[in-house]
Amino acid sequence: MRILFLGDVVGRAGREALCRELPGLRTRLALDLVVVNGENASHGFGLAPEMARAFLAAGADVITLGNHAWDRKEIIPYLEEERRVIRPINFPPGTPGQGAVVVEVPGNRRALVINAMGRLFMEALDDPFRAVQAELAKHRLGQTIHAALIDLHAEATSEKQAFAHSFDGLASLVIGTHTHVPTADHQILPGGTAYQSDAGMCGDYDSVIGMQKGGAALRFWRKMPGERLAPAEGEATLCGLFVETQDATGMARRVAPLRLGGRLSQAMPEG
């Protein structure tokens, strides 16, 4: 299976780049599954339903969220309507929406996508390790599902690495999101699981993690709250990770970064 994960979409610049480039990327890379983290799409805070619809129409199969999941209140009823948009699985029981989804992919295959959120320097949610373990136990990788992807939305690299090693051999890909900076540690772990500490963002990198530089920097100078931060609106870089898996086992056999457009060095997986 050929999988592309795209990191946090930030603001208008990220949205427009995603919707413009994703249809061509699906063809160019012969993608079977595309997963996008969309939790910062709406002016940097949350995801509006119309934006989710645009991402799905452009070629996303699943959209994941994170700590800004509830910033746009209209997403709450939409999560019950559209199961391809998921929020972290370790929110307490009774939280709207779901934290995992199984989607059909070409070739009569099925892929499991799980969204989880870390707890170190984040909100005090339920344990993501045990929540993901329970979800994975419902499926058989290489049998009932052909791939399993986990988006761990977390601050600390140590938590992300510990999480990935805990599920090495049980998932096709563990990918970190939230910090908006692509890390250079993409790899296949000893048990066959692809991993990267952070996929980076889809947004303008002439910024402070996607937000306009002036207001964001001033907060560090003055240590006082200022006006609401606004996304930078220059040319965006799409950042993500390409993974190719073996259907028989669900394990990764190839992993490569993707960086397209904008200020960062470009990287395109070979077709």
Tens of pLDDT, residues 219-260: 899 877 777 899 999 999 999 999 999 999 999 999 999 999
Residue 91: the pLDDT is: 98
| Pairing state between β 100-105 and 238-245 | unpaired
Helix axes 128-136, 157-166, angle to 10 degrees: 30
- Catalytic-role residue among 43, 68, 153, 165: 68
pLDDT tens per residue, the chain (271 residues)?
A: 999 999 999 999 999 999 999 999 999 999 999 999 999 999 999 999 999 999 999 999 999 999 999 999 999 999 999 999 999 999 999 999 999 999 999 999 999 999 999 999 999 999 999 999 999 999 999 999 999 999 999 999 999 999 999 999 999 999 999 999 999 999 999 999 999 999 999 999 999 999 999 999 998 998 777 778 999 999 999 999 999 999 999 999 999 999 999 999 999 998 7
How far apart (Å, rounded) are the C-alpha atoms in residues 97 and 75?
9
pLDDT in tens, 173-194: 999 999 999 999 999 999 999 9
Q: Is 178 assigned a catalytic role?
A: no
In DSSP terms, 5 is beta-bridged to 35, 241
Give Cβ neighbours of residue 81 (< 8 Å, ≥ 6 apart): none
pLDDT at 94: 95
Distance in angstroms (rounded) separating the CA atoms of residues 271 and 263: 23
Cβ(3)–Cβ(147) below 8 Å: yes
What pLDDT, on the 0 to 100 scale, is given for residue 115?
Answer: 98
Closest of 230, 172, 161 to residue 198, by C-alpha: 161
Identity (one letter) of the amino acid at 153? H
Q: Which fold is adopted by the domain 2-260?
A: Purple Acid Phosphatase; chain A, domain 2 (3.60.21)
What tokens appear for 219 in the block?
């907060």
> Residue ranges per domain, the chain?
2-260
**Which residues are CB-contacts of 181 (< 8 A; sequence separation ≥ 6)?**
198, 200, 201, 209
| Per-residue pLDDT, 81 | 95
pLDDT tens across 135-150, in order?
999 999 999 999 999 9
